[in-house]
Structure 1
Amino acid sequence: MSTDLQPAQSLLRLDPVPTPSGPHVLDNAAWAALTGAHRRFAEIVGSAARYQTDVAPFVALGDSSDPRAWDDLAALLGPGTQTAVTGISAVPEHWETVERAEGVQLVADTLLTRADPEAVRLTTADVPEMLDLVSRNKPGPFLPRTIELGAYWGIRRGGRLVAMAGERLRPPGHTEISAVCTDAGHRGEGLATRLVRHVADGIRDRGDVPFLHAAGDNENAIRLYLSIGFALRRRTLFAVVRVPGGDRATAPGN
Structure 2
Amino acid sequence: MVAGHEGAAALDDPVGESLRGHHSHLARRLGSAATYPTPVATFSAVSAAADAAEWDDLARLLGRGELADMFSCPAVPPPDWEPVFTLEGRQMIWTGDDRPDPPRAEPDSGVVELGSADVSEMLGLVERTRPGPFRPRTHELGTYLGIRERGTLVAMAGERLRPPGWTEISAVCTAPEARGRGHAARLVRALVARVVSRRERPFLHVAESNAGAIALYERLGFRTRGQVTFRGFRTP
Give the TM-score, by structure 1 length: 0.83
Aligned length: 228
Match for 1:102: what amino acid?
Answer: E
Call closer, same or farther: CA 1:123–1:21 in 2, change over 3 Å: closer
CA distance in 1, matches of 2:38, 2:198: 28
Residue 32 of structure 1, aligned match among 14, 17, 20: 17
Question: What corresponds to 1:66 in structure 2?
Answer: 50
Contact map agreement 2:85 2:233 (CA 8 A) in 1: yes
Matched with 1:150 is 142
Does residue 205 (structure 1) correspond to residue 197 (structure 2)? The answer is yes
Aligned: 1:103 with 2:89? yes
Q: How does 1:102-251 map onto structure 2 within 5 Å?
A: 102-110=88-96, 114-117=102-105, 118=109, 119-244=111-236
Identity of matched residues, %? 47
Give the corresponding residue for 2:71: 86
Name the SS for the 2:121 alignment partner: helix
Say which of 38, 41, 48 aligns to 1:53: 38
- Tell whether the 8 Å contact from 2:68 to 2:232 is kept in structure 1 after alignment: yes
Q: Deviations over 1:57-103 (max 9, x none)?
A: 21111x23221432322232234433211231241452332221211
CA RMSD of aligned residues (A): 2.0
- 1:3 is matched with none
State the 1:160 CA deviation. Answer: 1.1
Tell me how far apart the structure 2 counterparts of residues 48 and 85 of structure 1 sit (CA, whole Å).
11
In the TM superposition, what whole-angstrom CA distance separates every residue of 1:125-182 from its partner, at most 9, and x where no partner exists? 1111111111100111111111111111111111111111111111111001011111
Q: Provide the secondary structure at the position in 2 that maps to 1:188.
A: coil
* Residues in 2 aligned to 1:43 and 1:178: alpha-carbon distance in whole angstroms: 22
Are residues 226 and 52 of structure 1, via their aligned partners in 2, closer, same or farther at CA, if it must alter by over 3 Å? same
SS for the counterpart of 1:194 is helix
C-alpha separation in 2, matches of 1:22 and 1:123: 30
Aligned partner of 1:43 among 28, 32, 50: 28
State how far apart, in whole Å, the 2-side matches of 1:90 and 1:148 are: 27
- Kindly indicate whether the alpha-carbon contact (under 8 Å) linking 1:169 and 1:176 is maintained by their aligned counterparts in 2: yes
- Classify the secondary structure of the residue corresponding to 1:24: helix
Deviation of residue 23 (structure 1)? 8.0
Is the contact made by 1:83 and 1:241 (CA closer than 8 Å) also made in structure 2? yes
Mean Cα deviation higher: 213-222 or 27-36: 213-222
1:152–1:166 CA contact under 8 A, matched in 2: yes
Using the alignment, how far apart are the partners of 2:86 and 2:214 within structure 1? Answer: 19
